[in-house]
Amino acid sequence: MKLKSVLCAATAVGLLAAANAQADTITIATVNNGDMIRMQGLTDDFTTKTGHKVEWVTLEENVLRQRVTTDITTKGGAFDIMTIGMYETPIWGKNGWLVPLNGLSEEYDVGDILPAMANGLSYDGTLYAAPFYGESSMIMYRTDLMKKAGMEMPDAPTWEFIRAAAKAMTDRDAEINGICLRGKAGWGEGGAFITAMSNSFGAQWFDMEWNATFDQEPWKKTLTFYKGMMDESGPPGYATNGFNENLSLFQQGKCGMWIDATVAASFVTNPKDSTVADKVGFALAPDTGLGKRSNWLWAWALAIPAGTQKTDAAKQFIEWATSKSYIELVAAKEGWANVPPGARTSLYENPNYKDIPFAKMTLDSILSADPNNSTVNESPYVGIQFAAIPEFAGIATEVSQEFSAAYAGQQSIDEALAKAQAITNDAMEAAGYR
Amino acid sequence: MARSVSTRRKALNTLIAWTIGLLIFFPILWTILTSFKTEAQAINDPPIFFFFDWTLENYAVVQERSDYMRFLWNSVIIAGGSTLLGILIAVPAAWSMAFVPSKRTKDILMWMLSTKMLPAVGVLYPIYLLFISLGLLDTRIGLMVVLMLINLPIIVWMLYTYFKEIPTEILEAARMDGATLKEEILYILTPMAIPGIASTILLNIILAWNEAFWTLNLTAAQAAPLTAFIASYSSPEGLFYAKLSAASTMAIAPILILGWFSQKQLVRGLTFGAVK
Amino acid sequence: MATQQSRTLARYMMAPAVILLLGWMLVPLTMTLFFSFKKYLPLRGDSLENGLEWVGFQNFVRFISSSAFWPSVSTTMIMVGGVLIITVVLGVFLAILLDQPLWGQGPLRILVIAPFFVMPTVTALVWKNMFLDPVNGLFAHLWKFFGLSPVEWLVDYSLGSIIMIVSWQWLPFATLILITAIQSLDSEQLEAAEMDGASAFHRFIHIVLPHLSRAITIVILIQTIFLLSIFAEIFVTTGGAFGTKTLTYLIFQRVIDSQNIGLGSAGGVYAIILANIVAIFLMRIVGKNLDR
């Protein structure tokens, strides 16, 4: 094991650094995902290396977003590092609210960051946030149930196949639902899923004049297909299920297939939490043959708000948390399956990581996602499961509420789409696009 | 209106009342029970009530993840401090309203209550900006002041109604005997007002403890109370019922215990002048 | 009886509370009013330092003409009204029940008032996940036990579920106040009525209820103030979907999700107006009842 030497070297470097710099206490706002919780647990390693102390503010995703956005727009300065996503980074970077992440150390090897991630976290060629972990979405399915249904999952299935397979796997008496998908209102929940899915059906949010396009056929096809499939084979109450609810269901063995974030792969294959850990297979997110798949691209990244007094310490932390040696640190403590995925090229070249069953499919999914060219027809925006404009979060949350109501049967798909069209156009007009 | 009734009637009353009481309490009981289960047992079908392997593991996990004592301490200071501050300001106001009423007293009271109707989220930005410029962001003193202001109308009103119950004849008699204002307040008013003040304090602590909008939005690491502690558990990954239950139990236990010990005081005192 | 001196003194004693509350009301209110006439989109780079563009009543028009506005007003009314009815009716029932002679009155009261001590966020999380969840919730198990298919509470009965959760939270408060009131009821009067052959129902309508009317008014007043700003219970359970968007929640969406401070502030002004209409209405009743 080379862990020991890594740690020794790291400590030596750390001691030197600690001797030189003054010790600061930095405040970091982060989301309560497993990887971040793990990072918190390893903070001592950072403190011994640099002497800086860390105060954590860990919040649930929605609360975190609300909290950091309020703080950055008012220049509140409550945090020295914020955990933000691919949606916020370019918008905030453009407004000059973030410290550009240049001048990172040689050892950090910024070129090693997956290009897809680096692009999504940059504005105008400057990196504004370093990816802690990155994800796309893919199919996770139960190999045993698939076999029982007498079907075989191709590496790159179509939606038609998924629907048929879901139907075949469903066994209501045994409480097995063929497919679990997000339906929960919120732009980052069901909104993200349906947007990514709609791309593969040829739909898009805006046309080149920034008009909403919910009145057009592809959206109707997407929603009709989604609702039809979920009513046939989805779990009860799917209109309120988000990532966590579905993860829970899958871990309990109540889902045949689940299309969601690639990071979930390590949770569903972890025997400690999952009852189906050894029966999970992976495949690329489905398509309809139009040339776009329905997988998204996302990264949770660390950024430094402009105006903090502790830029140096914050930068040191970011270098620590998103470095290669951090990955090795986690691997040594928790095993390779639990390292933060999707951020660095070198991870996928590491022989230790190649044995991880979901490694290849994760990388393939990430590589097949292109935020700059996400829709079948030309679109004016960047982003796959979102459009990187400030108004999107608000609009998409409202629109996804209408969709959720349609999934629940409280209104028809046509009604939901008509409302979505009105909401979107109204908001875009208010923002001065049209 | 206690009356003598037959034992049978009493038994029936007891049965009905306890059934309803347990039903109302059940969600809390269930949360506490679940917090001692493993995650797998927490979602077991059919649900297990008592015969599971009791474990403290969830509490250990929660404690390892976040420093409970720190959140607890902030909650105690903020809830206690805001209450103390509120009482200090409200007692004189309520006193003068009750004993030297004017034509406008009632209007002032109603106006005070109406300030509570300002929707918090609508003024988030103004208050946030104000907090930044005053350097109050993420400070306990800032939160104390805000929570005090939020609850001040309720405190004033409660105290006002208690003070009004105090017969003015006693005060006048004391004045006749040459008692000074200070003596009047210290030796006559205070003893009679103490029960009312006590239940006001209790209610206010509960309200301040449970306030979740400002305490979440105006804090970061330093002043975050238990409401922020809970916000980091609201949807962790995977199976989380047991851990959520443990965190919830930890968050509500202190105030629940306080409430239980002071139950008599609360039942006697929460009148808002409604008794007559 | 009050001398000029004591009047002056009284004014001084009232001053801190009045001035503080005046400040607490005026400063945010002024800023909200100011913002509501401005175009303030922080994510588009608008900020106070750079100056904000004056847009007249545009925000007000936009907020009220949005398709979500009127439904949100009616949702608010239904939610507040529903919770009030449930808590008052059940509260009166519970108060009478708990006042009857029975064994273990003390511990029982503790059980009944306990929900009031639970944080709204915790309440919402516990109900959503451990009771109402259609797969793992306790209600789902209960339904399955009786051979029924589980109900999707937060979807099919979304508003009802939230009303139930909030009622559970506020029932203890109503009960507490009503118990205190009922304890002061003159038992001789009741006994006399009983002697005269008045039925239990008759006694309730003509003696108990009038006696409680003051307490009920108080319950309604205090609860309305708190219920108008219900937030956590919606945020955690439905996120405003399925017809549970109240006015407060709509403002939250405009301010936080859309980051449109001007529009949100205009919404805030509407909310204040609505609250004051409700307040004036309530105060009329309360004022009358309090003066009795």
Which residue did the predictor score with more confidence, B42 or A420? A420
Average of per-residue pLDDT values in chain A: 91
Same domain, A305 and A292: no
Residues of C in contact with A390 (CB under 8 A): 41, 43-44, 259
- Specify the residue for token string 């919830």: B248
Cβ atoms C207, C190 nearer than 8 A = yes
CA distance linking residue A101 with residue C171, whole number of Å: 54
Cβ contact, residue pair C240, A401, below 8 Å = yes
Q: Where are the alpha helices (DSSP H) in A74-189?
A: 88-94, 115-120, 143-148, 159-169
- A190 plus A230 within the same structural domain: yes
Chain C residue numbers with beta carbons less than 8 Å from the beta carbon of B274 are 177, 180-181, 214-215, 217-219
- Specify the 3-state DSSP secondary structure of A376: coil
pLDDT at res. A89: 95
- Give B55-58's long-range contacts (Cβ < 8 A, gap of 24+): B58/B242, B58/B243, B58/B245, B58/B246
- Whether the CB-CB separation of A299 and A131 falls below 8 Å is answered with yes
Cβ proximity of A283 and A153 under 8 Å: yes
Q: Are residues B95 and B198 in the same domain?
A: yes
Q: At what angle do helices A43-50 and A34-41 cross, to 10 degrees?
A: 40
Distance in Å, alpha carbon of B69 to nearest chain A alpha carbon: 15
Query: Distance between CA A228 and CA A233 in Å, rounded?
Result: 9
Over residues B96-108, the mean pLDDT reads 82
Distances (CA, A) of A417 to A82, A229, B21, B26: 35, 18, 47, 42
B274 vs C109, C214, C283: nearest CB: C214
**pLDDT, mean over chain B:** 85
List residues of B whose CB lies inside 8 A of any A CB.
39, 43, 64-66, 124-125, 128-129, 131-132, 137-138, 216-217, 220-222, 224, 228, 231-240
State whether the Cα torsion B41-B44-B47-B51 is positive or negative. negative
On the question of pLDDT at B3 being above 60, the answer is: no
Q: Is pLDDT at C131 greater than 70 in this prediction?
A: yes
CATH number at residue B154: 1.10.3720.10
Say whether A33 and B237 touch across the interface (CB within 8 A): yes
Q: What pLDDT is attached to residue C289?
A: 63
Give the nearest partner residue to B115 out of C21, C100, C173, using CB atoms: C21
Given a cut of 70, whether residue A18 has pLDDT beyond it is: no
Of residues C219 and A7, more confidence is placed in C219
Q: Which of B100, B153, B212 sits opposite C120 (nearest CB)?
A: B212
Interface test with A, best of C141, C234, C258 (most A CBs within 10 A): C258
DSSP annotation string for A46-84: HHHHH--EEEEEEE-HHHHHHHHHHHHHTT----SEEEE
Looking at the structure, tell me whether residues B73 and B195 fall in a common domain.
yes
Q: Do residues A278 and A186 both lie within one domain?
A: yes
Q: What is the pLDDT of residue B239?
A: 66
- pLDDT tier at C110, thresholds 50, 70, 90: confident
The yes-or-no verdict on residue A22 having pLDDT over 80 is no
How does DSSP assign C231-251, residue by residue? -HHHHHHTTT-TT---HHHHH
Pair A219, A239 in one domain:
yes
pLDDT at B117 over 80: no
pLDDT tens-digit readout, A286-328? 999 999 999 999 999 999 999 899 999 999 999 999 999 999 9
Q: Are residues B107 and B222 in the same domain?
A: yes
Query: What's the pLDDT at C127?
Result: 93
B48 and B87 share a domain? no
Query: Do B80 and B207 have their domain in common?
Result: yes
pLDDT for the residue numbered C159: 94
Residue C170 CB: number of other CB atoms within 10 A?
23
Contact C259 A398 (CB under 8 A): no
Does C51 have pLDDT greater than 60? yes
Start-to-end CA span in chain C (Å): 22
Range scoring the smallest mean pLDDT among A226-240, B132-146, B253-267, C248-262: B253-267
Residues A145 and A285 occupy one common structural domain: yes
Contacts of C109 in chain B (CB under 8 A): 263, 267
Residue A258's H or E segment, with its range, is: strand A255-261
Task: Find tokens 């009771």 and name the residue.
Answer: C131
Beta-carbon contacts of B256 under 8 Å, excluding residues fewer than 6 positions away, are: B28, C114, C117, C118
Q: How many CB atoms lie within 10 A of CB B81?
A: 18
Whether B73 and B193 map to the same domain: the answer is: yes
Is the CB of A267 less than 8 angstroms away from the CB of B236?
no
Strands A53-59 and A280-284, by their bridges, are: unpaired
CB < 8 Å to B108, chain C: 14, 18
| CA separation for the pair A117, A343 (Å, rounded) | 7
Q: What is the pLDDT of residue A16?
A: 46
What is the per-residue pLDDT for A253?
93
The correct CATH number of C66-259 out of 1.10.1060.10, 1.20.1440.230, 3.40.50.880, 1.10.3720.10 is 1.10.3720.10
**How far is it, in rounded angstroms, from Cα C270 to Cα A303?**
37
What pLDDT, on the 0 to 100 scale, is given for residue B160?
87
A3 Cβ neighbours under 8 A, 6+ residues apart: A328, A332
Over residues A364-384, the mean pLDDT reads 92
Residue A138 pLDDT > 50: yes
The string of pLDDT tens digits covering residues A56-96 is 999 888 889 989 999 999 888 999 999 999 999 999 999 99
- Proportion of chain B above pLDDT 90, given as a percent: 37
A301 within 8 A of A120, measured Cβ to Cβ: no
Residue A113: strand, helix, or coil: strand
Say whether A63 and B125 touch across the interface (CB within 8 A): no
CB contact under 8 A, B222 and A55: yes
For chain A, first and last CA: distance in Å? 61
Give a yes or no: residue B98 inside a domain: yes
- Contact yes or no for B132 and A29 at CB 8 A: no
**Statement to judge: residues A267 and A191 lie in one domain:** yes
Q: Return all residues near C268 (Cβ < 8 A) that are at least 6 apart.
A: B118, B119, B121, B122, B123, C32, C36, C251
What DSSP string runs through A295-356? --EEEEEEE-BTT-S-HHHHHHHHHHHTSHHHHHHHHHHH-GGGSPPSSBHHHHH-HHHHTS
The answer as to whether B271 is a domain residue is no
A212 and A245 within one domain: yes
Residue B166 to residue B160: CA distance in whole angstroms: 10
Q: Looking at residue B269, what is its pLDDT?
A: 65
Residues 6+ apart with CB under 8 A from B106: C287, C290
Query: Exposed, middle or buried by CB within 10 Å (0-12, 13-18, 19+), for C292?
Result: exposed
Domain that holds residue B40: 7-60
In a shared domain, residues A331 and A221:
no
pLDDT score of C202: 86
**Locate tokens 């469903």: which residue?**
A170
Position B275 scores a pLDDT of 56
Residues from chain A that touch C256, judged by Cβ atoms under 8 A, are: 66, 69-70
Q: pLDDT band for A238, please (50, 70, 90 cuts).
A: very high
d(CA A212, CA A399): 11
What are the helix (H) ranges across chain C?
4-36, 58-65, 69-99, 105-113, 120-126, 138-145, 153-156, 158-183, 187-195, 200-203, 209-227, 232-237, 247-252, 261-291
Neighbouring subunits of A (3+ Cβ pairs under 8 A): B, C
B128 and B24 in a common domain = no
Q: What is the mean pLDDT of residues C62-70?
A: 90
* Per-residue pLDDT band at B2 (split at 50, 70, 90): very low
Quote the number of domains for chain B.
Answer: 2
CA distance B254 to chain A (A): 22
Query: CA A54 to CA A310: how far, in whole Å?
Result: 12
In contact, A129 and A84? CB cutoff 8 Å = yes
- Residue A365, in any domain of the structure: no
Whether the per-residue pLDDT at B1 is higher than 50: the answer is no
Residues B213 and B167 in one domain: yes
Q: Say yes or no: A290 and A184 in one domain.
A: yes
Domain ranges, residue A332 = 3-128+297-359
User: What would the pLDDT profile of C25-39 be if each residue is shown by its tens digit?
Assistant: 888 888 889 999 999
Any residues with CB less than 8 A from the CB of A362 and at least 6 apart, and which? A135, A136, A138, A262, A265, A341, A342
Q: 3-state class of B43 per DSSP?
A: coil
pLDDT class for A23, splitting at 50, 70, 90?
A: confident
What is the rounded CA–CA span in Å between residue C160 and residue C180? 29
Instruction: Look at residue B171 and tell me if it is in a domain.
Output: yes
Is the per-residue pLDDT at A396 higher than 70? yes
Task: Provide, as residue numbers in chain A, all residues whose Cβ is less than 8 Å from the Cβ of B39.
Answer: 273
* Residue B158 Cα, gap to closest chain C Cα (Å): 11
State how many domains chain A has.
2
Is the same domain home to B75 and B24? Answer: no
Angle at Cα A376 formed by Cα A372 and Cα A377, nearest 5°? 90
As a whole number of angstroms, the distance between CA C68 and CA A399 comes to 12
Query: At which of B22, B45, B60 does a domain end?
Result: B60
The shortest C-alpha distance from B217 to chain A (Å) reads: 6
How many C-beta neighbours within 10 Å does residue B23 have? Answer: 11
- In this predicted structure, the answer to whether residue A223 has a pLDDT above a threshold of 70 is yes
Instruction: Inform me whether the C-beta atom of residue B269 falls under 8 Å from chain C C-beta atoms.
Output: yes
Beta-ladder partners of B158: none
Cis peptide before B46 (omega within 30 of 0): yes
**Structure confidence at residue C288 (pLDDT):** 66
Return the closest-CA partner of residue A392 out of C231, C266, C43, C250.
C43
| pLDDT at residue B201 is higher than 80 | yes
Spatial separation of the C-alpha atoms in residues A198 and A233, rounded to whole Å: 19
A280: chain B residues, CB-CB within 8 Å: none
Please tell me whether residues A149 and A282 are part of one structural domain: yes
Chain B residues touching residue A248 (CB < 8 angstroms): 43, 238-240
Percent of chain B at pLDDT above 70?
A: 92
Report the b/e string of C17-44 with b at 16+ CB within 10 A: bbebbeebbeebbebbeebbbbbbbbbb
pLDDT in tens, A243-261: 988 998 999 899 999 999 9
> pLDDT tens across A170-208, in order?
999 898 999 999 999 999 999 999 999 999 999 999 999
Phi, psi angle pair for A82, to nearest 5°:
-120, 145
Do residues B88 and B162 both lie within one domain? Answer: yes
Residue A322: predicted pLDDT: 95
The complex scores an ipTM of: 0.88
Average pLDDT over residues A139-147: 96
pLDDT per residue as tens digits for the range C132-153: 988 888 999 999 889 888 888 9
The tens digit of pLDDT for each residue in C164-191 reads 999 999 999 999 889 888 888 877 787 8
Is residue A37 situated within a structural domain?
Answer: yes
Structure-token pair, residue B161: 């109604």
Question: Minimal CA–CA distance to A229: which of A174, A189, A179?
Answer: A179
Which residues have a Cβ under 8 Å from the Cβ of A88 and sit 6 or more positions away?
Answer: A65, A69
Distance in angstroms (rounded) separating the CA atoms of residues B219 and B146: 12
Q: Give a yes or no: residue A367 inside a domain.
A: no
The predicted model scores a pTM of: 0.89
Q: Is the dihedral of CA B17, C165, B227, B53 positive or negative?
A: positive
Residue with tokens 């008052």: C88
The whole-angstrom distance between C271's CA and the closest CA on chain B is 7
Residue A86 within any structural domain of the chain: yes
**Across residues A347-362, what is the average pLDDT?**
92
Q: Are A253 and A276 in contact (CB under 8 A)?
A: yes
CA B241 to chain centre: 26
* Of B43, B60, B77, the domain-final residue: B60
For residue B85, give every residue at least 6 positions away whose Cβ sits within 8 Å of its Cβ, in sequence order, or none. Answer: B144, B145, B148
Question: How far is A226 from C148, CA to CA, in rounded Å?
Answer: 27
We report the CATH number of the domain holding residue A197 as 3.40.190.10
Which tokens in the block code for residue C199? 């039925």
Q: For B184, which DSSP code?
A: I
Arithmetic mean of pLDDT, A13-32: 71
C115/B24 touch (CB, cutoff 8 Å), yes or no: yes
Q: What average pLDDT does this structure show over B88-110? A: 85
Residue C247 confidence (pLDDT) above 50: yes
Whether the pLDDT of residue A162 is over 80: the answer is yes
